[in-house]
């Protein structure tokens, strides 16, 4: 192993040794390989993760079950925060569930130590995009437990609605979705925060808060807790302890016992991705079998295939960077009126790269900065007891995105492909640029959508040639 990987793994090991709670994954052992020189962390085998269960066909959680899962997650977070640990990647795929119904927080690869009363600069390039707090998107480097509480609020609303509530494809779009749902920050927030990217996202026509309207079918106590956890101002989100003492967990129906939860077949986020790919493959085969009668369907499928190739070119290999993409067309469960993604088969939830020209970033120094926060580890999975296990789903590989984009660009040059399909004035390489000074967010989103569509068309033409 290279020294950098050892350093990051050592940090994670130190963090895990400080934690000891029923709702937090426990480090069982360390295993080294003399042949490969790899170091493996050993954890208890967990049959499910919350993302896999929530997306499994035929599974719809009841209110007592949702309260049970949320209560366990918040207890685990309460323990982490009391020990001075920020998780910084709370999402369904990192909430592992055993056969006995016990939920445990896993994957501490992005976790860090913090002191509540001490200001210390931290990276804002953490948390999967769909669950990232607005202050992180605005470039905050001083933050605390509020970023984990925002993620918890997203998960609570997602469990009730049956789908991700803000599935943005880029940082610009994610920020826009947050403002449309949670409302634009007030003038006092902009004035006090002094965040690096505030001027890029500040709007001339602020949005009104729409959480109560969007989630009007939620139980009143659940809606009240969502309102608190998804507050734009970090200090208003409270703590895990205050969330546990909310009325949501006190009124009937009360949280059920974890051991009374139904027994499900093993289901993880990766299984959901496999099901999604298998469904697309069968749909494509069925379209080919019907010949001319399915010309329209085949045309639609032809648009789907290049997107996968585009993601592969633009985001590198998906061997370790696995994430599940919400597919609105295949979601037949009841939910709330949340705006779906404009491009269903666009970039995944963790595919977000800040524009290199903003705030003095360059390809080289940004990759170096992010390499100091992302740890690439190997956790071979096993289904036999507490053996080697890759904990939860794979993290985003921010540092790898830059190198993969550069290699894709170099590959096109080596093939003699010099076609320019993105205007030089706003070239984004499918990463989502931040809004230039004086620009309109609406115009930026329209331009970004046009560039994505153009990239998809080019990818389809390239595939046709080959």
β-bridge mates for residue 42, sequence order: 29, 388
Burial class (CB in 10 A: 0-12, 13-18, 19+), 225: buried
| DSSP-derived secondary structure for 68-133 | HHHHHHHHHHHHHHHTTEE----SGGGEEE-TTS-EEE---TT-EE--TTS-----S--S-GGG--
CB atoms within 10 A of CB 291: 9
For residue 47, the Cα-to-chain-centroid distance in whole angstroms is: 21
Is there a contact between 48 and 97 (Cβ–Cβ < 8 Å)?
Answer: yes
Containing 27, the helix (H) or strand (E) segment is strand 27-32
Give the DSSP per-residue string, 346-391.
S--TT-----TTGGG--HHHHHHHHHTT---------SSSS-B---
The active-site residue, picked from 89, 107, 271, 370, is: 89
**331 catalytically annotated:** no
Backbone angles phi and psi of 279, in degrees to 5 = -65, -40
Ranges of H-type helices in 143-258 = 146-161, 171-182, 187-193, 198-201, 211-214, 220-229, 240-244
Cβ(4)–Cβ(371) below 8 Å: yes
Give me the count of residues in the chain.
466
Distance of CA 300 to the CA centre of its chain: 27
> Tokens at residue 57, please?
């066909």
Calculate the alpha carbon distances from 131 to 93, 147, 372, 411, 436 in Å: 12, 9, 21, 33, 25
Which residue, 449, 97, 46, 82, is CA-closest to 261? Answer: 97
The token pair at 265 is 């077949």
Query: In this structure, are residues 311 and 348 in contact, taking their beta carbons and an 8 Å threshold?
Result: yes
Nearest-angstrom CA–CA distance, 308 and 315: 10
Q: ∠ CA 154-156-159 to the nearest 5 degrees?
A: 105
Q: Which of 132, 127, 102 is nearest to 25 (CA)?
A: 102
Active site residues per annotation: 89
């Amino acid at each position: 192993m290279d020294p950098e990987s050892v350093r990051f793994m050592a940090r994670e090991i130190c963090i895990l040794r400080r934690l000891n709670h029923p709702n937090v994954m426990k480090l069982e052992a360390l295993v080294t390989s003399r042949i490969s020189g790899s170091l493996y962390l050993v954890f208890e085998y967990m049959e499910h993760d919350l993302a896999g269960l929530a997306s499994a066909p035929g599974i719809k959680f009841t209110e007592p079950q949702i309260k049970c899962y949320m209560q366990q997650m918040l207890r685990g977070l309460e323990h982490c925060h009391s020990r001075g640990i920020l998780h910084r990647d709370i999402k369904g795929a990192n909430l592992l569930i055993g056969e006995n119904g016990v939920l445990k927080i896993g994957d501490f690869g992005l976790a860090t130590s913090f002191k509540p009363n001490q200001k210390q600069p931290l990276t804002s390039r953490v948390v999967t995009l769909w669950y990232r707090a607005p202050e992180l998107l605005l470039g905050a480097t001083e933050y605390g437990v509020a970023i984990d509480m925002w993620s918890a609020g997203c998960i609570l609303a997602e469990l009730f609605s049956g789908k991700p509530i803000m599935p943005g494809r880029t940082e610009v779009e994610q920020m826009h979705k947050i403002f449309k749902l949670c409302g634009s920050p007030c003038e006092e927030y902009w004035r006090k925060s002094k965040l690096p990217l505030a001027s890029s996202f500040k709007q001339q026509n602020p949005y009104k808060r729409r959480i109560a309207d969007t989630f009007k079918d939620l139980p009143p106590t659940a809606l009240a807790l969502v309102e608190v956890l998804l507050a734009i101002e970090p200090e208003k989100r409270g703590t895990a302890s205050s969330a546990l003492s909310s009325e949501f967990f006190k009124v009937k129906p009360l949280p059920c016992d974890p051991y009374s939860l139904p027994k499900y077949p093993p289901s993880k986020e990766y299984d959901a991705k496999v099901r999604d790919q298998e469904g697309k493959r069968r749909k494509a085969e069925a379209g080919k079998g019907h010949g001319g009668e399915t010309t329209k369907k085949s045309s639609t499928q032809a648009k789907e295939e290049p997107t996968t190739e585009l993601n592969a070119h633009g985001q590198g290999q998906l061997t370790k960077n696995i994430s599940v993409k919400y597919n609105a067309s295949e979601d037949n469960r009841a939910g709330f009126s949340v705006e779906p993604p404009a491009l269903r088969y666009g970039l995944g939830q963790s595919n977000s790269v800040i524009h290199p020209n903003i705030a003095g970033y360059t390809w080289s120094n940004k990759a170096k900065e992010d390499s100091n926060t992302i740890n690439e580890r190997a956790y071979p999975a096993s289904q036999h007891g507490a053996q080697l296990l890759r904990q939860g789903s794979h993290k985003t590989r921010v540092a790898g995105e830059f190198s993969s984009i550069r290699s894709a660009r170099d590959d096109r040059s080596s093939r003699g492909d010099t076609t320019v399909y993105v205007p030089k004035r706003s070239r984004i390489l499918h990463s989502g640029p931040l809004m230039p000074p004086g620009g309109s967010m609406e115009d930026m989103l329209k331009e970004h959508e046009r560039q994505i569509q153009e990239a998809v068309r080019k990818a389809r033409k390239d595939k046709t040639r080959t």
